[in-house]
Structures are given as structure tokens and as C-alpha cells.
Amino acid sequence: MMDWPLLIAMIVVLVLSGIWMTRQRIRIRKLEKLLDLTNAKLEKLQVNFGRFTPEEVIEHLTEADGTYRPAKRKVTVLFADLVGFTRMSREQDPEVVVSVLNGYFKRMNEVITRHHGQITELLGDGILAMFGALSTNPWQIQDAVQAALGMREALVDYNEELRAQDRPELQLGIGIHHGEVLVGIMGTMELSKFGVVGDTINIAARVEALTRQHQIDILVTEEVRQALDQRFIVRPLQPTPIKGLVEPIVTYYVEAMLDAKVPDQAK
């Protein structure tokens, strides 16, 4: 004799199981669509955000679940600027100016990155780079000065290319200072960047401006010189007043590094 209650119970269980599995499949499909949409948004965000923020910062944000807390750090600031570029930009075709500038930025970024620095801003034809801003780097000062020497050599090579193309050559000025800054992600939801704030940046920029006065290409402050070892050949210059400081600032011309090529102007 057939056990009808048991049969009905089994049918009910099967029906309920089928309904549950159908709902689960629908839920999984919705989750997959949502995941695909989220991935697409993340990829777009990384592309857009990468225009304003170093790749290393994006990696930090990813590892830290999207957070990057503002902090005060001891960093080494490298400020670089092209001498006479404004005049050149007025005299040359705009396409030539942009092409020359883009080639310059590409080569300088390669050198700075190779020496563990990050370009945080491009200011016209100027470059603001940080060493030790993202993580602790006990060799940040040496890295910054080696980067400056590498930028000098890279510019020599780039000028050879420009000369061969009958394009105007470039002249570089670099100022380096070490001190405390505030670092963090700054801006709005629509436009964000990895930013730095502090007097250290202003001093580095004004030291770079002194390269024109002294007619040399790389200047560092006393705070930087104290951390350099005997491999670096530096020459002290006369103390010079600069805006924002009560006492005249002492700077040093970086001539070369032992086992490195010595430029003509340093011989």
C-alpha cells in the first residue's frame, strides 16, 4: 500500500528545493552582474585616478581597503624646472613644444622612479618629486641626489636627440631639501590626487630658483648635505637670502658622484 503522506512530503521537499535553487541561481547571476559592474568601475577609477596619483599610492589604497590616512613625514623634496622654457614655448610651434616637453617628462619620470621617488605634480614645465613620502626610506636623501644626477645625464642624452631633430635643447635646474611635510589624498570625489603640503616644498622650489643665480644645475641644502657620504662631491656656495627664511640659506652644488660621469661644467 502506497504511503501517500510520505510521497506528498517528498514532493513538497523537491518543489521547495527547486524553488530555493532557482532563487539561488537568480541571486548568483545578479551578484555576477554586480561584480562585473564593480570591476568595470574600479578599472575606470584606476585609469582616471592614475592621472593624478602615483601608481604606488593606488597600490597602497588597494591594500588598505581604499583608505590612506594623512600623515606627517620626513621626506626629501626634489623640485626641477626648465630654464628659459617659457620663452622657448612662445617661439616654437605648439606641437613641437608639447612633444619636447612630453619626451622630457618621460625620461625624468623613469629616472626618478628608478631611484624610489614619485612625481606628485607637474607644474607647467616643473616637476615636484618626493622621496620617502609613501613609506619609510632611510636612504631617501641619497636616492634623491642620485636621481638628480641621473636626470642630469638623461637630459644630456635627450638633448642629443633634440639636436639631431633640429629642435631646441633644454637646460635643467634642480633644488633638493629635506624636512617634514603633510602627505595624503587631497581633493574631491570628482578629482583627487596624492598631495603634499609644507614649507619644505617651498624651500626646495626657492633653492631650485637659486640655480639660475649661481648658473649651475643641482643645488642641495645643508639638511641634505649632512646625510650624504663621501661618494658625493659637493661644493659649498655663499649663503643667500631667500623669501620665507630669516637667515640666508647655505646651499651646495652637487658636482658628481664617485664612479659617475663628471659633467663638463664641473671639471
**pLDDT 10s per residue in the chain (267 long)?**
556 566 666 666 666 676 767 777 777 777 667 666 655 555 554 444 444 455 555 555 555 554 567 778 899 999 999 998 888 888 888 888 899 999 999 999 999 999 999 898 888 899 999 999 877 889 999 999 999 999 999 999 999 999 999 998 999 999 999 999 988 777 666 666 667 888 999 999 999 999 999 999 999 999 999 999 999 999 999 999 888 788 899 999 999 998 755 444 443
> Are the C-beta atoms of residues 256 and 149 closer than 8 Å to each other?
yes
The torsion angles phi and psi of 67, rounded to 5 degrees, stand at: -115, 145
Residue indicated by cell numbers 624610489: 116
Instruction: Output the furthest CA–CA distance in the chain (Å, rounded).
Output: 113
265 SS3 class: helix
> Are the C-beta atoms of residues 79 and 205 closer than 8 Å to each other?
yes
Query: How far apart are alpha carbons 261 and 183 in whole angstroms?
Result: 35
